[in-house]
Amino acid sequence: MVWRELSPRDLYDLRNPLIIDVRSPCEFEEERIPEAINFPLLSNEERAQIGFLYKNQGELYARRYALKFIAPKIPDIVDQILALREHGNSVVIHCWRGGLRSEAVASVLSIAGIPCLRLTGGYKAWRRMIVDDLTRDAYPFDPIVLYGNTGSGKTDILEELQRQGAQILDLELLANHRGSTFGSIGKGKQPSQKNFEAALWSELRRFDRSQTVFLEAESRKIGKIALPNLILEKIKKGHAVLVEGSMDKRIERILSTYWDCQNADATSALDEAFQLLEFIKVRIGKKRCDDIRSLAAQGKLSDVVEILLSEYYDPLYRESTKHQQNYLVTVSGDNPSASATELLKLSVTAQ
């Protein structure tokens, strides 16, 4: 039994493939196929050592030396693949560019009588396909775009739209960031740019083109993640909807989101907020920043949020959307369920 080659495009003709990435952990962490599982043939340290030998002793010497690391690991990797493989599922092996590492595992699987496929060109070729698709807008859609002040309820409406069966593109979820100066609080590490683009590509290709897609208006960057030009163009040219919310409800929502988050307790969230406060000092001034710290120390977090909304976020938002004047409709973020129902009806008209 001999393993066969599989192109990146043909990978998605398979039903629930088991994708095995045999690159080192640091390679996998930085960029990967979203559905892949990492069974590294070389540790980060071993990979660095082989790279050094390749550069200084040549390819043949480096390959032979790499076998000393790889050979003892093969049996365990085969056992792990067998444990994960479901009946009828295709096993797809890949490394960086379809070289020694994927060849070694694919060959051993074949010898063991386990049918498998090797991704032609490895992750590098798969990544090239993603970049090409995102550049040429391979999965076009016509969105309804939610605009509105910070805390107005745009995300709540998106989530309610999804519950009611609509297609949504939650860019902030993919970027693991809320898109504002304080948007990292309690969220942990953001994905790499390449992993974000891979996750975005996966979302885009799932959409039913006959149905409307809802998303929030975002700036060019969400935290450290840069949005591809095609998404910025979708936001710019999409059907605009304005979401408004009362100040009381906006304050309540922000306190709930930022200080009741599961990934950080209130104290650590507040500490992180104080660090980020330095980034807006140039707009609201040192004295106002000191006032905010004083109010927070007294536990007056509602007052803190109101100052940030009225003196920082709202003026900044008005400035960034001053050219956006034509809205299909205005909905209330105070009642996400009713607004989602109204937008679903609107989407039929917008198609």
Query: Which residue type sits at 174?
Result: L
CA distance 308 to 185: 15
Indicate if 26 belongs to the active site: no
Q: Order the strands of the 213-216 sheet from edge to edge.
A: 167-169, 213-216, 143-148, 239-244, 329-332
How crowded is the C-beta side of 55, counted as CA atoms within 13 Å?
A: 6
The one-letter amino acid code at 289 reads C
Among residues 64, 69, 91, the alpha carbon closest in space to that of 78 is found at 91
Q: Are 66 and 24 in contact (CB under 8 A)?
A: no
Alpha-carbon Rg for the chain in angstroms: 25
- Burial readout 175-212 (b: 16 or more C-beta within 10 A, e: otherwise): bbbbbbbbbbbbbeebbeeebbbbbbbebbeebeeeeb
- State the amino acid at position 67 in one-letter form: L
What is the Cα–Cα distance from 285 to 264, expressed in whole angstroms? 28
Read off φ and ψ for residue 231, nearest 5 degrees. -70, -40
| Cα angle for residues 286, 289, 290 (degrees, 5° grid) | 90
Choice among 95, 116, 261, 289 that is catalytic: 95
Residues in the chain: 351
Q: Residue 231's beta-bridge partner residues?
A: none
Known catalytic residues are 95
